[in-house]
Structure 1
Amino acid sequence: MNPGIPYVGGIPGGMRDGRQIVINGTVPHHEHSFSINLQTGPNINPRSNTALHFNPRLNDNCVVRNSYQHHSWGGEERGGYQPFQRGMPFEITILCQHHHYKISVNGRHFCDFRHRVEKHHVNTLTIEGGVQIHSIRFDGAHSHAHGVGGFLGRVVGEIAKAAMPTPPPPAGAYNPSGGYPAGGYPGGAPQPIYNPPVPFTTAISGGIFPGKMIFISGVPNPNAERFTINLMCGPYDGSDIALHCDVRLRVGGDFNVVLRNSCQGGGWGAEERHSPYFPFMPNANFDMIIMAEQHQFKIAVNNQHLLEFRHRVQPLNRIDTLQIKGDVRLTQVRFQ
C-alpha cells in the first residue's frame, strides 16, 4: 500500500532531540521533483510554517533546503551532491539534534540544516510532488515511552512498514518475521483490503483471539465530525458490540474525544473517555492497530499507544465482524 500524495500526517509526540523519521520511496521515471516538509500544522495551501523543506530537483541536479514562516520563504541552501535517481528506491533519514536536523540518504550523510523554527512547534509531516512512498517510520527519543509494552510495543514501531509490504524496501530494512507471531504475516495472512467504501462491514478473518491484530489506515474527511469503529458479534443491526470506538472531532459539546463502550442485549455499558492524547485531524492520515489480549484490547495510533479497553463481551470468539462508519476515508484494512 502506498499512501496518497500529497501525504499529511501527524508526528507522534512531535519533534525533539533524538527523534528520527525514516522515509522509504521511489522517484518514478517520469517525475523530476518532490518535497518533504516538517511543519507546525497540517495546511498545504496556504502552507503552515515549515521548519524544514527538503526538495530534490532532479532536472536541476540539486536538493534545495529551506524554511517557510509567516507566508515567506527563507534563504535556500543547495550545497551537496544529488543522491536521487529515477526508478531507484531511496531511504531518507531525518534526525533531530539540538542545533540542526541531520539528514542522510541511503545510509550516507547528506547535509545538516540548522533550526530556523523552534523544533517543539513541529507536529506534522507532509510529502508532495512526484514521488511514490513505500513506508514512513518514527524512531528514537523514547518513541515507545507511552505505555506501549510487550508484543504491541515491538509492532507499533513498524506500523508503516507492516502496513505497506510492497514494493520491498532496500536490503537490510524491515523484516516482518522479527516482530510477528510465528506463522503470521506474510505467509498465511489474508490480503489487505484497499480503499473500501464507507460505511464498511466485513467478517474478521479468523475471528478474535489473544494476539489477533486489526490494522486500519485512513484519513478523516476535511470537515469530519466523527467516525466509529465497532467490533461486533454479527453483521446485523442490534448485534452485540464488544468494542465501540467513537472518534469525535466535534460532536455537540464533544471535541477531540475517543469514546469507548460496549453494547449487549441492546443496552449500552459505561462510557470510557480518557486518553493521553488525541491523534486524529481532518485530512491527516492515521494508522491504527487494535490488538486483542487475554483481558483487554490495546489500541495504538501513529506509532503510539493510545488506550486499553477491558473485555466486556466473552468469549472472544463471539466477535466476528468489523464495522467502520462516519466521516472517514479508508485506505487499507488488514487482519493479522
Structure 2
Amino acid sequence: MMSLDNFQKIVRSPIIPYVETMTAGLLPGELVIIRGSVPEDSERFQVDFQCGNSTKPRADVAFHFNPRFKRSGCVVCNTLQNERWGHEEITYEMPFGKGKPFEIIFMVLRDKFQVSVNGKHLLLYKHKINLEKIDTLGIYGKVEISLIGFVSNKSLQGSQPTLLGTTKKNTGNEELPDSSQFVLPYVARLHSSLEPGRTIVIKGEVKEKAQSFAINLKPSDSSDIALHLNPRMKDKAFVRNSYLLNGWGEEEKHIAYFPFSPGMYFELIILCKEHQYNVAINGVHTLEYKHRFKQLNKINTVEILGDIELLDVRSW
C-alpha cells in the first residue's frame, strides 16, 4: 500500500464516468494508483489512458485496461487509434472480484505500462502510442472509485545519492549513474559495512527469457555469503540461503506468491534489521531472512548476477 504522503495529487470519490486532463502528462517512473471496489452487479469497467477527451471523433486511447466479469472473467487490454481498435491482449488471471475492494497501480515505464493489482504483478502492456500524447485519464463502467493518486517519478526514483563505491573511479560529481557500470556480474563495495538500519535498493528489469538471477551480500575477506537471494523463474521459487564455512545451508523457499515475471521492472529493497533482513519488491513486503552470518560489520560487498538488466544500485 503506497503511503499518502508520496502522492502529488489525489482525487477522492470521483463520479463515474470520470474524464480528467492530466495537466503534466505522464513521464517514465510515474505511478497512477486507483483504489475502489467492484459492485456485485458489475459486468465490466475500464481505465483508459487517452490522447485528449474528444467523443466525436473519439480520442485515441493509448492504453485501454478493461476487466470483464462474465464467466470466469478476464482483463482485456487494447489501443484505439483513428477510431479503430488494435489487437486485444487478454489476461485470464483475474485479480478483481465482485463486491471486493482493489488497488490498481499503473507504473509508467519508458517502453511499457506495468500493472499490479492488490500488490501483485498482473501484466505488461507495450506502448503503441507515444507516451507524450497521453494527457487524459478516463474511468468508465460499473465501478466505485474511492481514490485516484498520482506519484511523480522523483519520489519513486529516490533522491538519495548512491553510496556504493563502484569499481570505476568517482570523479566527485554525483551525476546519474552511467549504465555501463551496471554490467553483470556486478560487484560493488558498500561505503560502510552493514548494520541495522542500512538499506540497499536494487533496480532492474527481468529479461524476457530469464531463468534466474541472484543477489549476494558478503564480506570481502572470505568466500562466505551472508545473504543469497535467488529468484528462479521456471519453478517460480524465490530461494534464500547463506554460504558459510565452505557450504550452503538450508534453503528457505516459503513465499506467499512469486513476485517476478519476465520483462517486468522491479525495485528490490533490502532493509538490514537487528535479527533479520526484510525484503520488499515494488513497495510490497515479500519476505524476512534471519541473520545466519552474525558479524554484520564484516558485510561490505554486493554482488548481482543472472538474467536481468541492472539499472541502479544504491545504499544508505
- TM-score for the superposition, normalised by structure 1: 0.52
Report how far residue 27 of structure 1 moved. 6.0
1:333 aligns with 2:313: yes
Contact 2:60 2:80 in 1 (8 A): no
| Structure 1 residue 287 displacement after superposition | 1.0
Deviations 1:64-119 (A, max 9, x none): 4745689896999x9xxxxxxxxxxxxxxxxxx97999x9xxxxxxxxxxxxxxx8
Structure 2 vs 1, CA of residues 70 and 318 (structure 1 numbering), >3 Å: closer, same or farther?
closer
- Residue 260 of structure 1 aligns to a residue whose secondary structure is strand
Q: Match of 2:314, as an amino acid?
A: R
Within 1, Cα distance between the matches of 2:121 and 2:232? 24
- Structure number with larger C-alpha Rg: 2
RMSD: 4.7
Is the contact between residue 193 and residue 334 of structure 1 (CA under 8 Å) also seen in structure 2?
no
Match of 1:208 in 2: 194
Aligned to 2:293: 313
3-state SS of 2:264 partner: coil
Q: Which has the higher strand share?
A: 2
Instruction: After TM superposition, give the deviation of residue 205 of structure 1 in Å.
Output: 2.3
Q: Secondary structure at the match of 2:297?
A: helix
Q: Which runs of 5+ in 2 are unaligned?
A: 1-21, 35-44, 67-73, 84-97, 105-116, 133-144, 165-173
> What is the TM-score of this pair, normalised by structure 2?
0.55
**1:133-152 map, 5 Å:** none
Per-residue deviation at 1:130? 3.3
Taking the aligned partners of 1:162 and 1:285, their CA distance within structure 2 comes to: 16
- The residue aligned with 2:214 is 228
Match of 2:268 in 1: 288
Aligned partners of 1:124 and 1:294: how far apart in 2?
36
**Is residue 224 of structure 2 the alignment partner of residue 240 of structure 1?**
yes
Equivalent position of 2:130 in the other structure: 130
Is 1:194–1:331's contact at 8 Å kept on the other side of the alignment?
Answer: no
Give the whole-Å Cα distance in 2 for the aligned partners of 1:215 and 1:335.
Answer: 6
Give distance in 1, aligned partners of 2:279 and 2:290. 11
How much has 1:55 moved relative to structure 2? 2.3
Q: Which residue of 2 aligns with 1:301?
A: 281
- Match of 2:191, as an amino acid? S
- Classify 1:286/1:267 alpha carbon distance in 2 versus 1 (closer, same or farther; 3 Å): same
Question: Following the alignment from structure 1 to structure 2, what is the Cα–Cα distance between the partners of residues 161 and 206?
Answer: 26
- SS for the counterpart of 1:225 is coil
Among candidates 50, 53, 63, match of residue 55 of structure 1: 50
Where 1:244 maps in the other structure, the secondary structure is strand
Contact kept, 8 Å, 2:121 with 2:260, in 1: the verdict is no
Q: Which of 254, 257, 264 is the aligned partner of 2:244?
A: 264
| One-letter code aligned to 2:219 | C
Distance in 2, matches of 1:302 and 1:271, equals 24
Matches within 5 A, 1:28-177: 51-57=46-52, 64=61, 66=64, 123-124=122-123, 126=125, 128=127, 129-131=129-131, 161-165=154-158
- Change in Cα spacing, 1:100 to 1:306, as seen in structure 2 (3 Å) is closer
Offset from partner CA, 1:52-72 (integer Å, 9 cap, x none): 331225999956474568989
CA contact (8 A) 2:65 2:75 kept: no
Q: Aligned pair in 2 of structure 1 residues 73, 218: CA closer, same or farther (>3 Å)?
A: closer
Contact 1:218 1:287 in 2 (8 A): yes
Query: Please, which runs of 5 or more residues in structure 1 have no aligned partner?
Result: 1-22, 29-35, 39-49, 79-96, 104-118, 133-139, 142-157, 166-175, 177-184
Residue-by-residue CA offset, 1:127-150 (whole Å, 9 max, x unaligned): 734347xxxxxxx99xxxxxxxxx
Change (3 A) 1:125 1:239: same
Q: Secondary structure at the match of 2:187?
A: strand
Distance of 1:263 and 1:316 partners within structure 2: 15
Higher mean displacement: 190-199 or 58-67: 58-67
Q: Does 1:218 align with 2:204?
A: yes
- In the TM superposition, residue 199 of structure 1 has moved relative to its aligned partner by 1.0
Question: Shift of residue 242 of structure 1?
Answer: 0.2
1:268 deviates by: 1.0
Aligned to 2:13: none
Rounded Cα–Cα distance in structure 2 between residues aligned with 1:220 and 1:295: 30
Within 1, Cα distance between the matches of 2:208 and 2:300?
31
Count of matched residue positions in the alignment of Structure 1 and Structure 2: 216
Residues 278 and 71 from structure 1, CA distance in 2 versus in 1: closer, same or farther, beyond 3 angstroms? closer
Q: 1:312 to 1:57 in 2, by over 3 A?
A: same
